[in-house]
A and B are shown apart, each in its own frame.
Chain A
Amino acid sequence: MTISSAPDQALVLAAIEQVWGSMLFATAEAWPSDRAADFETGVQAQIELRGDWNGRLVLTCDSDVATQIAGAMLGLGPEEELPELDIHDAVGEVLNVVGGSVKGALVGTWALGLPGVSETTGAPARDESFVVSWGDAPVYVQIVPDAA
């Protein structure tokens, strides 16, 4: 992983690829920019990063994708169900590990917050995100600096 002074798309994508592969046993690939990536009800996880750059990483996905991510993380079969609280917990922990990996690749002193997870309606704007694949579904990632 390259060393940077602030989180950027390449760094966060590398962290996601690592987490997808080692924790979720899946492959993350860039989502084609001309392919639709909409959903109506989703889960959004956020985690703050503080240091030379201040802001947060945000991960948003469809509710079914969140359920699949939680199942993959826990090694569950397709018939096994999880309570919503555990699904949110799993998605937040995925972002926590991504954030930890990003933090480890940044030069300087940084602090990582605790992940927060909530329900969301609709996908973020494409021009404010980059999109990676979870199987055949999109996962939105945003690197959001604090408002000046």
Chain B
Amino acid sequence: MKILIADDSKVMRQIVLRTMRQAGFGHHDFVEAVDGAEALDKVAAEAPDLVLSDWNMPNKTGIELLRALRGSGNTVPFGFVTSEGSEDMRATAATAGAMFLIAKPFTAEHFESALSEMLG
């Protein structure tokens, strides 16, 4: 499977990738985007099987990205990996079509729990 990691922090993209490997998902292919706008372009160009996105990004936020995808009919599985995990944000994410929201700081167990059914 191809997984798109969208986060404006290069360090955080590296940590998400490392944590995915620790969770046993390192054999998948990964592509990266530096903000929501680039992620939208890369979803179109790369056709990932899963998007892991930060919420708070310049140019286009994660929730704007998700709404743009769903608004154009794209149903790619989508999860947030974000520093904010309030109940309001979880509800907003779910309503917009997100599968899950993992709050930072996170562990490999959080990724396993959210993704093992989908990624095996």
* Interface residues in chain A, defined as those with a beta carbon under 8 Å from any beta carbon in chain B: 18-19, 22-23, 70, 73-75, 85-86, 89-90, 92-93, 96-97, 99-101, 103-104, 109, 112-114
20 contacts between A and B (CB under 8 A): A73-B11, A74-B11, A89-B10, A89-B11, A89-B12, A90-B11, A92-B9, A93-B9, A93-B11, A96-B9, A96-B83, A96-B104, A97-B83, A100-B82, A100-B85, A101-B83, A103-B84, A104-B86, A112-B84, A114-B56
Q: Are B10 and A100 in contact (CB under 8 A)?
A: no
Determine whether the beta carbon of A70 is less than 8 Å from that of B105.
Answer: no
Task: From the candidates A73, A85, A103, name the one contacting B15 in the complex (CB within 8 A).
Answer: A73
Contacts of B84 in A (CB 8 A): 100, 103-104, 112
Q: Which residue of A lies closest to B58 (CB)?
A: A114
Chain A residues lying within 8 Å of B103, measured Cβ to Cβ, are: 100, 104
- Tell whether, in the assembled complex, residue B104 and residue A97 are in contact, meaning their CB atoms are under 8 Å apart: yes
Q: List 4 other contacts, CB 8 Å, given A85-B10, A104-B103, A112-B83.
A: A73-B15, A74-B11, A89-B12, A109-B88
B 79-120 to A, binary, CB cutoff 8 A, 1 in contact else 0: 000111110100000000000000111010000000000000
Shortest CB-to-CB span from B59 to chain A, Å, is 11
> How many Å lie between the Cα of A26 and that of B13 in the bound state?
21
| Chain B facing A: main interface SS | loop
Please indicate the chain A residues that have their CB under 8 angstroms from the CB of B85 in the complex. Answer: 100, 104
Binding site of A, secondary structure by majority: helix, strand, loop or mixed?
A: helix
Is B11 a contact of A86 with CB atoms below 8 Å?
A: yes
Q: Is B74 an interface residue (CB 8 A)?
A: no
Cα A99 to Cα B104 with chains together (Å): 11
Q: How far is the CA of A97 from the CA of B85 in the complex (A)?
A: 10
A97 contacts B9, CB within 8 Å?
A: no
The verdict on B8 contacting chain A, using a C-beta distance below 8 Å, is: yes
Cβ of A86 and Cβ of B107 under 8 Å apart?
Answer: no
A22 to B86, CA, bound (A): 19
From residue A142, how far is it (CB to closest CB) to chain B in Å?
19
**Among candidates B56, B58, B107, residue contacting A96 with C-beta atoms closer than 8 Å:** B56
